[in-house]
Amino acid sequence: MLKKNRHRPHHHTTAPKPPSPFLWLMEAVLVSLGIIAVIFAFIIFILFITNNLKSRQAIQSATDLSATGQAASDYKTIQSSRIFELGINTKLFRAEAFLGDNNKAVGGDDIYKQGDYSAVNVYKQNDSDAPLTGSSIDLTKATYLEVSAPPSELTLASLKNRYGNLTDLQLASKYYTPADDSSKNYKLVSSEDVRVGNIDYKKKQYNVVYLSAPSAKARQTDFITVANSKPYKVSIYQNIGYQADDYALFETVLASVKYSLSGSNKAQSFAPNHVGLPSFMVANAAARIISKSSDIQVVARNQPAVVKIATIYCSDFSLELNGVSQNFTSACTGGTGSGFIISKDGYVATNGHVVKYLPEDALAGSIALNNLGVIRSYLDFLVNTGILTAQTANNYYARIKLQDNDALSIVYGTLNNDTLKGAKISPKKDDYTYGVQLSNRAIKASSDNLKLLNFGDTIIGAKLAAVDYNPLDLYDNKGFTQSDVALLKLDKAMDYPTVSLGSIDSISAGSELMVIGFPGSAENELVDTAESVPTSTAGRVSAFRNANNSSSKLIQTDVGIAPGNSGGPAFNDRGEVVGIATYGVSDPSISSSTLNYMRDIADLKRLLEKNGIALNSDRTGSQALWDRALENYSKAYYSLALSDFSKVKQAYPPNRLVDDFIAKAESAKRDGKEAVPPSTYLVIITIFVLAVVVPGVVMFFVVRHHRRRRDAHTRYTQMQSNMPAAPTGAGPPKPKAPSSPSSSQANRQVDMLKHAE
């Protein structure tokens, strides 16, 4: 049978859609949005730079707001072009340097000019103003510190050639090993790795024997390090007759050594501040500018929580000597110290010696304050014991009544010599009055009755909550039987600001410290001062000591601890309290030297734990508001800061800084110094996103789509134009006529049909 031919359809190519005729307009819009995006980004960048500048101005503008004092510097820096420097307090030390490798000595003020110093020697200051020369110091008797740099050509590679393949510190240690000579021998006592002022040292201690005097004691302690690819050494020499405290004094210099140059050989920003110390430690005190954000974080944030404490102590007691007894009544004394609020419900931490007294203190204070009743009883006692005649005693009493200070000094002086040696004092009744000053309005007592303090809204009464202190420790000289910390509880409920307690583990020798307190004369301030503001004193950790006969730690520091500063908090650079300013001990070998010690904050934490007092570690309430206000102020967000300052003033009116900060913020705002606040930034960024970024992204994809259509349409058009042209004129070919079959073929077809039938 015949097959039918199936029709196969032809495939036709469809022309793509052409692009939008407005593609050029869309592209123009996209470019415009890009330009606008760049402009917006530039505006945001300018705002960021401007805000940063205004923030710096805000911090700089906080002059005097924290009542910080900065003494004209007694601290100077000595710099060597061999890339090391050290700082000394010129009230405590003097120095000489040695130029180049020929060791030419340089002294006087010339030493504070940068030079090619191969070594610098530092000695304890004496009363001589003469500049040092190499011949003016007997190095076999002096105690001194020496910083040594290697010769210019020395390298670690040359040391490896000399000593073999050792570590850099081992090479430096080998290089600086002292050699015996004809005058002295060295015996290594100890060797250990230590860290001082964030610098790693190999500490090696030697006993030195001078062959000419074998029994003489001498010691050399080397601190060896590698910096700038070179070995350096700091040595503390404790020679014949050395004192233990000398070493601690020179550790303050060791902690200042740096193996880089600060760029200035003038006073550094960390120069010890001695405002409030005796006159020999003060030189032209000037207001200090808060120039770093850390100062705001440490000083301004915490100053409202630092308080002044007045303690009035009255005692009835008997005084007995050689069988003669005299009764005293209402002998009173008073003193001031510093403290810091540690809980929003009003716990105040301070030193034990700020809040605890002995009857002998009441006797001495009563005489010093011209208490005629106590003075009369004391003169009678001196007469009855045969120390004074009745006529002499009456003469002194008459003169004292007439305000004769010479007579008063003579009577007072009998307390401080051997006149009363062997006397016994027995307390019968003790009475304490505590007042805590929250603002700058000075706490004062009546000149007629010390117990009458000027209590009010900002001067609050308090009670002793806990104490770890034995007043006899300061008299017996047998070491510490207890610590020197105490807690008061304020009588009035208020949303008090607080400090945060840290740990001495966060500091090391050379670490910066900031102490806030109320230095000054205790007795005079109680009756003579109308206003009292805290000062902040900057310094560094010198060393850590064990309290004598105790496991408690003491922090030795170059921060001056003056009368009245006791009990003040010492802050690390994070604004955490790590110590309590406690002792300032004079060094009689240096006319103007005082060794200053702080109690470890761990002593206070133990007292809290012992008495079941738990603190909230978070800064909440008025303190949280104050922190936020200062944060906004430091960023020059004055409107936000003013809102928070207003809330602080409502929550805690005694805040001594808030009014000044409000005035500064309002003035800066009026002068157009306010930075763009976060809310405005958010609006700008939102507009940027909604008006530029989102339309730009949409327009980008639309343009890309139409560009693809344009490209496809272009390719199709080109393809069509490249196809061959169709033939013309003849038209399609006609089909051929079928040919006639041959006779044989026809016969075969007939036969097949017949057969099929």
Q: What value, to the nearest 5°, has the Cα angle with vertex 454 and ends 451 and 460?
A: 95
Determine the average pLDDT of the residues in 83-101.
83
Say how far apart CA 592 and CA 26 lie, in whole Å.
Answer: 82
User: Is residue 375 helix, strand or coil?
Assistant: helix
* pLDDT at position 87: 83
More confident of the two residues 405 and 313 = 313
In order, the DSSP letters of 232-274 are EEEEEEE-TT--HHHHHHHHHHHTT-BSS--S--S--TT----
Determine the average pLDDT of the residues in 546-562.
79
- Residue 627 tokens read as 């922190």
Determine the average pLDDT of the residues in 213-231.
86
Burial bucket for residue 354 (CB in 10 Å: 0-12, 13-18, 19+):
buried
78-254, what's its fold?
Answer: Protein Transport Mog1p; Chain A (3.40.1000)
More confident of the two residues 72 and 60 = 60
Residue 4 has pLDDT above 90, yes or no: no
More confident of the two residues 51 and 498 = 498
- The answer to whether the CB of 326 falls within 8 A of the CB of 102 is no
Express each pLDDT in 224-267 by its tens digit: 999 988 999 999 988 766 555 567 678 778 878 889 876 543 33
DSSP H/E element including 659: helix 658-670
Single-letter amino acid code for the residue at 498: T
CA distances (Å), origin 469, targets 487, 565, 614: 11, 18, 21
- Residue 475 tokens read as 């008299």
Say how far apart CA 445 and CA 464 lie, in whole Å.
Answer: 19
- The answer to whether the CB of 623 falls within 8 A of the CB of 629 is no
- CA torsion 249-255-260-264 (nearest 10°) is -60
Separate counts of helices (H) and strands (E) for the chain: 20, 25
Predicted model pTM? 0.65
Q: How confident is the model at residue 521 (pLDDT cuts 50, 70, 90)?
A: very low
- The answer to whether the CB of 613 falls within 8 A of the CB of 347 is yes
Question: Mean pLDDT lowest for which of 34-38, 343-347, 653-657?
Answer: 34-38
Which residues face 389 on adjacent strands? none
Determine the average pLDDT of the residues in 521-532.
54
Residue 286 has pLDDT above 50, yes or no: no
Q: Percentage of the chain surpassing pLDDT 70? A: 79
* pLDDT at position 270: 23
The CA R_g of the chain, rounded to the nearest whole Å, is: 44
Handedness of CA 268, 269, 272, 273 (dihedral sign): positive
Nearest one of 37, 36, 55, 59 to 47, comparing CA atoms:
55
Single-letter amino acid code for the residue at 662: I
In order, the DSSP letters of 423-491 are -EEEEEEEEEEEEEE-SSBPP-B-SS-TT-B--SSSEEEEEEEEEEE-TTHHHH-S--SS-EEEEEEES
Contacts of 60 (CB under 8 A, 6+ apart): 289, 290, 291
Determine the average pLDDT of the residues in 376-388.
91
Mean of the per-residue pLDDT values of the chain: 79
Residue 521 backbone dihedrals phi, psi, to 5 degrees: -75, 120
User: Is residue 341 helix, strand or coil?
Assistant: strand
* pLDDT at position 272: 24
Which residues face 595 on adjacent strands? 585
Length of the chain: 757
Contacts of 368 (CB under 8 A, 6+ apart): 333, 408, 412, 523
- The answer to whether the CB of 558 falls within 8 A of the CB of 540 is yes
* pLDDT at position 43: 79
Nearest one of 313, 406, 318, 310 to 366, comparing CA atoms:
313
* pLDDT at position 134: 46
More confident of the two residues 426 and 691 = 426
* pLDDT at position 265: 39
Single-letter amino acid code for the residue at 750: V
- The answer to whether the CB of 525 falls within 8 A of the CB of 532 is yes
Determine the average pLDDT of the residues in 257-286.
38
* pLDDT at position 280: 23
Question: Mean pLDDT lowest for which of 90-94, 207-211, 316-320, 440-444?
Answer: 90-94
* pLDDT at position 475: 67
- Residue 26 tokens read as 């869309």
Q: How confident is the model at residue 350 (pLDDT cuts 50, 70, 90)?
A: very high
- The answer to whether the CB of 305 falls within 8 A of the CB of 341 is yes
Determine the average pLDDT of the residues in 270-289.
25
Q: How confident is the model at residue 617 (pLDDT cuts 50, 70, 90)?
A: confident
Handedness of CA 109, 114, 119, 121 (dihedral sign): positive
Express each pLDDT in 27-46 by its tens digit: 888 888 888 888 878 877 88
Say how far apart CA 511 and CA 716 lie, in whole Å.
Answer: 78
Q: How confident is the model at residue 526 (pLDDT cuts 50, 70, 90)?
A: low
Determine the average pLDDT of the residues in 409-429.
84
Express each pLDDT in 126-162 by its tens digit: 644 444 444 455 555 567 899 999 988 888 888 998 8
Nearest one of 604, 600, 566 to 585, comparing CA atoms:
566
Question: Mean pLDDT lowest for which of 102-106, 354-358, 671-675?
Answer: 102-106
Say how far apart CA 504 and CA 545 lie, in whole Å.
Answer: 12
Question: What sections of 281-356 are H helices per DSSP?
Answer: 293-295, 301-302, 352-355
User: Is residue 184 helix, strand or coil?
Assistant: strand
Question: Mean pLDDT lowest for which of 99-108, 356-365, 494-503, 653-662?
Answer: 99-108
CATH class for the region spanning 293-610: mainly beta
* pLDDT at position 588: 46
Residue 502 has pLDDT above 90, yes or no: yes
Express each pLDDT in 159-177 by its tens digit: 998 898 889 999 999 999 9
Question: Mean pLDDT lowest for which of 451-465, 628-642, 667-681?
Answer: 667-681
Task: Annotate 114-141 with three-state secondary structure.
Answer: CECEEEEEEEECCCCCCCCCCCCCCCCC
Residue 9 has pLDDT above 70, yes or no: no
Q: Percentage of the chain surpassing pLDDT 90? A: 29
Contacts of 286 (CB under 8 A, 6+ apart): 69, 70, 71, 72
Residue 734 has pLDDT above 80, yes or no: no
Express each pLDDT in 559-595 by its tens digit: 777 777 889 999 998 889 999 998 876 554 444 445 7
Say how far apart CA 370 and CA 378 lie, in whole Å.
Answer: 12
566 CB neighbour count, 10 Å cutoff: 29
Question: What sections of 331-387 are H helices per DSSP?
Answer: 352-355, 359-368, 372-384
* pLDDT at position 241: 61
> Which range has the top average pLDDT, 323-332, 592-601, 736-745?
323-332
Which residues face 80 on adjacent strands? 84, 115
Question: Mean pLDDT lowest for which of 96-105, 128-137, 305-314, 614-623?
Answer: 128-137
Q: How confident is the model at residue 476 (pLDDT cuts 50, 70, 90)?
A: low
Residue 733 backbone dihedrals phi, psi, to 5 degrees: -65, 140
* pLDDT at position 34: 85
Residue 10 has pLDDT above 80, yes or no: no
Q: Half-sphere exposure of 607 toward its Cβ, with a 13 Å CA cutoff?
A: 27
- The answer to whether the CB of 357 falls within 8 A of the CB of 333 is yes
User: Is residue 514 helix, strand or coil?
Assistant: strand
CA distances (Å), origin 672, targets 58, 60, 293, 461, 646: 12, 16, 21, 44, 21
Q: Half-sphere exposure of 622 toward its Cβ, with a 13 Å CA cutoff?
A: 25
Residue 703 has pLDDT above 60, yes or no: yes
* pLDDT at position 729: 53
* pLDDT at position 60: 65
Nearest one of 310, 351, 349 to 332, comparing CA atoms:
310
Express each pLDDT in 188-204 by its tens digit: 999 998 887 668 899 99
Determine the average pLDDT of the residues in 640-657.
93
Nearest one of 549, 541, 608 to 578, comparing CA atoms:
541
Say how far apart CA 312 and CA 336 lie, in whole Å.
Answer: 9
Burial bucket for residue 108 (CB in 10 Å: 0-12, 13-18, 19+):
middle
Question: Mean pLDDT lowest for which of 199-208, 376-385, 450-459, 550-559?
Answer: 550-559
Handedness of CA 259, 263, 264, 265 (dihedral sign): positive
For the chain, the domains span 30-60+620-700, 78-254, 293-610
* pLDDT at position 248: 67
Nearest one of 243, 221, 311, 258 to 80, comparing CA atoms:
258
> Which range has the top average pLDDT, 21-30, 471-480, 491-500, 545-554?
491-500
Question: Mean pLDDT lowest for which of 230-234, 241-245, 506-510, 629-633?
Answer: 241-245
